[in-house]
């Protein structure tokens, strides 16, 4: 298969052999694609190397032979966001989610669009906790496994004053009692309704979404967690009530 001027976002790049890179990209029409970029470390290849950095929007030419495609050319479409601190770690988390959950060579137009949105929200410095919760929701929906947040697993409307755990298969399940430790892993009904309406919840409601959504993601990750969860202290700094802007 041949790719010509294929639009994509760079998710990851790592050195391979002495002068090459292994690159993972996310395209709309072909999903996640692995590329071999040969001979990119020379002094005249800095433009190409810059185009293959994570978060970069590119167009590329390549030929698919086996699991990995051989990169022929790539050019940057725009300037990638220049992120620092927690915003850079948030971008690493977004990329890791896509690397782990997006299948190879399966069209992903909705996920590609969601990635474009989160990329611009990170560029604009929007509140990180809300930016990540929206992307988690959009990613699950794009992959066809997202729950309905406004109704519970029995089809009953979510009660804004109740608390819910998120079942990966059945969606919100109302907490009937509050035994020790159960409340910590549940979201408020207000938060779930706000997430469904794409309206940023306040303070503790926003923070309550982090662990329930993580449980759903962990299920679809096959029970194996993410490096970024460890790096960010279980993403606590990006989900705490104080996070009303950049942490």
Q: Give the number of other CB atoms < 10 A from CB of residue 21.
A: 21
Task: Using CB atoms within 10 Å of the CB of residue 155, give its burial: 0 to 12 exposed, 13 to 18 middle, 19+ buried.
Answer: exposed
By the 8 A CB rule, do 164 and 192 touch? Answer: yes
Q: Give the number of other CB atoms < 10 A from CB of residue 138.
A: 19
Q: What is the mean pLDDT of residues 111-116?
A: 98
Token couple for 169: 């298969």
| Per-residue model confidence as pLDDT tens digits over 119-166 | 999 999 999 999 999 999 999 999 999 999 999 999 999 999 999 999
First to last CA, the chain: 44
Confidence at residue 167, expressed as pLDDT on a 0 to 100 scale:
96
Q: Which residues pair with 63 in a beta bridge?
A: 2, 70
Report helix, strand or coil for 73.
strand
Q: What is the mean pLDDT of residues 44-73?
A: 91
Q: What is the mean pLDDT of residues 45-64?
A: 92
Confidence at residue 197, expressed as pLDDT on a 0 to 100 scale:
98
Band of pLDDT at residue 66, cut at 50, 70 and 90: confident
Token couple for 140: 């699950």
Structural domains of the chain ordered from first start: 2-76 (2.40.50.140), 85-238 (1.20.1440.120)
Band of pLDDT at residue 56, cut at 50, 70 and 90: very high
Helix (H) or strand (E) holding 101: helix 85-101
Residue among 38, 44, 41 nearest 70 (CA): 38
By the 8 A CB rule, do 80 and 123 touch? Answer: no
Lowest mean pLDDT segment, chosen from 20-24, 47-51, 90-94, 187-191: 47-51
């Amino acid at each position: 298969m041949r790719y010509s001027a294929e639009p994509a976002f760079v998710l990851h790049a790592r050195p391979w052999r002495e002068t090459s890179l292994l690159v993972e990209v996310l395209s709309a029409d072909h999903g996640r694609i692995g590329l071999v970029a040969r001979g990119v470390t020379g002094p005249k290849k800095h433009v190409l190397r810059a185009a293959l950095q994570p978060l970069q929007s590119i167009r590329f030419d390549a030929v698919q032979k086996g699991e990995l495609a051989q990169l022929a050319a790539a050019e940057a479409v725009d300037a990638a966001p220049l992120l620092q601190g927690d915003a850079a770690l948030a971008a690493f988390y977004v990329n890791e989610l896509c690397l782990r959950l997006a299948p190879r060579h399966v069209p992903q137009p909705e996920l590609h669009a969601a990635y474009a949105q989160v990329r611009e929200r990170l560029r604009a410095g929007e509140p990180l906790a809300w930016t990540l919760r929206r992307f988690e929701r959009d990613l699950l929906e794009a992959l066809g496994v997202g729950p309905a947040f406004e109704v519970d697993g029995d089809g009953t409307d979510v009660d804004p004053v109740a608390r819910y755990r998120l079942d990966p298969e059945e969606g919100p399940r109302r907490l009937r009692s509050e035994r020790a430790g159960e409340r910590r892993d549940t979201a408020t009904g207000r938060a779930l309704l706000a997430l469904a309406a794409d309206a940023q919840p306040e303070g503790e409601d926003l923070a309550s979404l982090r662990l329930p959504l993580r449980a759903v993601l962990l299920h679809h990750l096959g029970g194996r967690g993410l490096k970024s969860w460890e790096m960010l202290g279980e993403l606590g700094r990006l989900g705490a009530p104080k996070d009303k802007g950049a942490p």
